[in-house]
Structure 1
Amino acid sequence: MTATATPAPTVALVRRSARVRLLWLAVLVALLVAAGVTSLAVGSRQVAWHDVVAALGGARDGLDHAAVAVRVPRTALAALVGAALGLAGAVMQGVTRNPLADPGILGVTTGASLAVVVGIAWFGLTTATSKVWVAILGAGVTAVFVYVIGSLGRGGATPLKLALAGAATSAALSSFIAGVVLGRNDISGTVRSWQVGGVGGATFATMTPVLPFLAAGLVVCLACARSLDSLALGDDVAAGLGENVAVARGVASLGAIVLCGAATSVAGPIAFVGLVVPHACRLIVGPAHRWLLPFSALAGACLLLLGDVVGRVVARPEEIAVGIITAIVGAPFFIAIVRRRKVREL
């Protein structure tokens, strides 16, 4: 009797867990839609909801409709970049088994930024397609460099060593960027505003060349969900389960690097989205990457959309770039994670 009764609670628990996750997924999708509509309606000029609907339907006969038309590509870009950074952060944390992993903290976005700035200053890069290739190359080289530096010494690539290597690399690359831009008045204004990280001035023309890279990175990262679950058990256990650890880690890292490079090329370096979002999503869906990765993408899009709206509202009629808003939110979160863990555990 006991033997036959035991499986029932387990099955019920699994089903309930799936139902809860699907419920949270519906909530997250609803929040994304609400954030998108809010992004279209709120700004230096407030637009009524019925005017938003009319503008989306094609109306262009007033200032409110024109304002919505300008905000549509900006809203789309914020959602795409937020999803890319949130997903990339979740993958990086899974690959390195590092709770502090984030494209900004590990210096990946700064490496992409330096590559783009050097390309603009020294090689005359102007097209969005050339910038995204250069940004992905810079992100990849920086990721490999940080991982190699963090792996030196006893204990290999511990989370603390990777975070320190990433912070030092990011600071050094930022200095290189300043050195490249210094004295170049022809590009300094554009580069400095881009370096803050933001989605203002977005157009579909600048977004279109980046979309294939974002799509490719998204597919690769989502396809690596099962491998990331195996890597979370440790390299030896993953290898025992038949996983090729080096290939799994390399493919997942490639997907994250493509997402980071593409997002940085079009929006500039935006930090802490990849740190905050995966941790928040784990509280909702747990560590299983088949749930965590899509949730991180949706939550990242929500965070960047809402951050962009806040940046437009708090300093009206001026705007604060969304990269500043995410830094204000993410820096205390980063400190809290570090304080919650003993240094020897990191």
Structure 2
Amino acid sequence: MKKLLIALFCVALPLSSMPFVHAQEKKETANTSIKEDVFNDGEYAYGDGFQDIAEANPYARVEGYTYQRNGNYILYNFKTTSLYKEPYGNVKAKLSPKIRYATKRYGNYFYVNTEKGSGWITTWDDNIQELEIEDISAQLKTTKTLDVYSVPIFDDRFETGTIPAGTYTISKRANYFAYVNNGKYKGWILTSYHDDGTVFSKQYATYLNTKRTLSQTSVNGVAIKQKLLPKISDPTRSGISMVPKYVTIHNTANASKGADAAAHANIQYERNVNRTAAWTSWHFQVDNKVIYQSLAMNEVGWHAGDGNDSGNASTIGIEICENADGNYAKAEKMLLI
């Protein structure tokens, strides 16, 4: 398993700078004989007590709805929203619709400077769009004409035109938006959605020099198998190309007998084929005997509990199986040593 992580590290960043994101989350029950006792990715994730990982790796962070993180966030409250004195605190003021920027996050609350003073706004309010903007240096290849926006906000009023199929240098990324400025074209390319909000049925934008799968077929004698999701669909397979920067480690929170890597690969596959509205997907599921891949490593999964931010947008998600008839301690030990 250690070799699997090293292989994934080589896909993204050097091992010395590779952060882990360790999160346990609850996901929605699947329509299958092996079930998951969990909630959707978009709701929340909570820390599962693996502080020892953070102590062993200073880059580690435990996700949760109270975790704190600095970043570069753009938010758009397209309706009146509340400004809070502090996260989960009292309302300080009401804010009119406006694009806003934040550099600090506390769970789903974001610290902003506004026309009514500083405070926190939250994406728990359904009238806010939010994306994390990340610096990137990559080449994006597009195979059809795509829409361009002045800001990475999915709203017709910010749409400025289109950009033809081609290969473009990208300097910033906000999940399904990619920023280009080559003198002729300037703006945020919408890579995965029509302007009416429907998801593309094919992947028309792909970051070059990224890998879909591992070249090896086994690590430490453990076979790597593939059962890739065939259909692009919002609830399960995003179709959003990414350049992976991190590895996110989860537990399945599923102790049922038979809830091994193959079973969870089947859960994902069945959801995808049947278009089950689970809003959850991840790249690899592992037990102590086999590794299954469900998503391409250069495609966004819905697994980190942070919506459109870097947990989902820039990490490869790994689920460690906890089935009672397996050996979870062995699987976890192999993964973390």
Bigger share in strand: 2
Say which structure, 1 or 2, has more relative contact order (CA 8 Å, 6+ apart). Answer: 1
TM-score of the superposed pair, with normalisation by structure 2: 0.28
Larger Rg belongs to: 1
TM-score of the superposed pair, with normalisation by structure 1: 0.28
Bigger share in helix: 1
